[in-house]
Amino acid sequence: MEKIDIITGTTAAAMAAKLSNVEVIAAYPITPQSHCVEALAKYVADGELDAEFVKVESEHSAMATCIGASATGVRTFTATASQGLALMHEMLYIASGMRLPIVMLNTNRALSAPINIWCDQQDSIAERDSGWIQIYAEDNQETLDSVVQAFKIAEDEEVLLPVMVNIDGFILTHTVEPVAIPDEEKVREYLGIYEPKHAYLDPDRPITQGPVGVPECYMETRKDLNDAIEGSREVIKRVNEEYYKLFNRKYGNGLVEGYNLEDADTVLVAMGSVCGTIKYVINELKEKGKNVGLLRIRTYRPFPKEDVVEMLKDANNVAVLDKNISLGFNMGALGIDVSSVLKNKKVCNYIVGLGGRDITPQDIEEIISHVEGAKDGETKWINLKE
């Protein structure tokens, strides 16, 4: 039976890793994720979790340790943020290239300089091409559920890829919310024991992993990796549905979630906790007779191209909110991706919340008003100081 606890997003992620019976945790502290691995360290020290907790000297070493552990065939987990994720950059490509099902919590935080510990999504967006599946949670409940689902997705024989679960720093990591915690035995039954069927490091069966990829074979390995990420869409959908049948919670179809889309001429597209604010504004406007919708992108990689096209087919005004900026292009990454798949639609991009700047209901209303009178392709920075 589930129990309700009032916990932060980082604690929810740690609880999910514990429920998932993770076997190796390697981490280095960094704001705002430190509470997650502190909680896991306590679980291990108190005997609540039978796992190896490896204290390392950097985030680069944390991912290297997870790679080594995962290569032996055990379930691994880590957490990081911002500069820590950037320091992992080299190792992220190794983890995906070796097809290792590592799960990582990333607590979205702005990248320096200037030094900033508050939330935007530039850190994970900078790693969008590293071969990791990326999930963005809206609240603490979804954080817990997404980490559990991430292990199921990553370890699927059709996928075998690392998964990054992203939650907004401070907005979720340090805010307490009611979270339903599933029964531990039920979660472990759902995930099963991780038993890799492919060759993993074993002294009795020596193999080579991560060898030199000469020009004669490297391109094919990248194609195989791309095919695995593309193919993971159906697995993500299936895992989301299976989770719903067991725990009575699901998040759209696993890739995207629509809110008030029926008959909505104007639709906002966004990721993460800001979607809660958008839903609030939509409800307020609906009471005044104005119909606006939201398309929440839950899984950013693989990008849900077909779903975006289908769910926005009736919208005339599409406003994409980005908590990141592709410097030199004057658009955010989500705006670029949405624009690339929508034809004959007015798509405008709104840069919001960089470095933790508040995104208020008034900002959302400003975006709605602007997009209805804007030209296709416009980019507007919201709440800039004069």
Which pLDDT value is given to residue 255? 99
Q: How confident is the model at residue 133 (pLDDT cuts 50, 70, 90)?
A: very high
Question: What residue segments make up the domains of the chain, in order of their start?
Answer: 3-247, 256-381
Other beta carbons within 10 angstroms of residue 384's beta carbon come to 9
Does residue 199 carry a pLDDT above 90?
no
Strand partners, 381: 351
Confidence band, pLDDT 50/70/90 cuts, at residue 157:
very high
Neighbouring-strand partners of residue 136:
166
Is pLDDT at 145 greater than 80 in this prediction? Answer: yes
- CA distance between the termini of the chain: 54
Mean pLDDT over all residues of the chain? 97
pLDDT tens for residues 18-59?
A: 999 999 999 999 999 999 999 999 999 999 999 999 999 999
| Number of Cα atoms under 13 Å in the Cβ half of residue 53 | 21
| Two domains, one topology: 3-247 and 256-381 | yes
Annotate 316-366 with DSSP letters as a single string: SEEEEEESS-BTTTTB-HHHHHHHHH--S-EEEEEE--GGG----HHHHHH
Tens digits of residue pLDDT in 204-255 = 888 888 889 999 999 999 999 999 999 999 999 999 999 999 999 999 999 9
Identify the CATH homologous superfamily for domain 3-247. Thiamin diphosphate (ThDP)-binding fold, Pyr/PP domains (3.40.50.970)
Residue 323 has pLDDT above 70, yes or no: yes
Query: Residue 307 — very low, low, confident or very high, per pLDDT cuts 50/70/90?
Result: very high
pLDDT of residue 50: 97
| CA pair distance 155, 240, nearest whole angstrom | 14
Assigned token pair, 5:
């606890």
Give the length of the chain: 386
**What is the Cα–Cα distance from 134 to 300, expressed in whole angstroms?**
6
Q: Is 27 left (phi over 0), alpha (psi -120 to 50) or beta?
A: beta
Contact 231, 158 (CB under 8 A): yes
Q: Which CATH number fits domain 256-381: 1.10.10.10, 3.40.50.920, 3.40.50.1970, 3.40.1280.10?
A: 3.40.50.920
pLDDT at 1: 79
Q: What percent of the chain is predicted at pLDDT more than 70?
A: 100
CA 86 centroid distance within chain:
16
Cα 287 to the center of its chain, rounded Å:
32
- Looking at residue 272, the DSSP 8-state letter turns out to be S
Tell me, what's the pLDDT at 304?
98
Cβ atoms 177, 15 nearer than 8 A: no
35 vs 114: CA distance, rounded Å: 24
Contact of 197 with 184, CB cutoff 8 Å = no
Kindly give the pairing relationship between strand 292-297 and strand 256-259. Answer: antiparallel
Task: Give residue 253's region: left, alpha or beta (phi > 0; psi -120 to 50).
Answer: alpha
The secondary structure of residue 25, as a DSSP letter, is: E
Structure tokens at 249: 């919670």
**How far apart are alpha carbons 249 and 278 in whole angstroms?**
21
Contact by Cβ (8 Å): 50, 57 = no
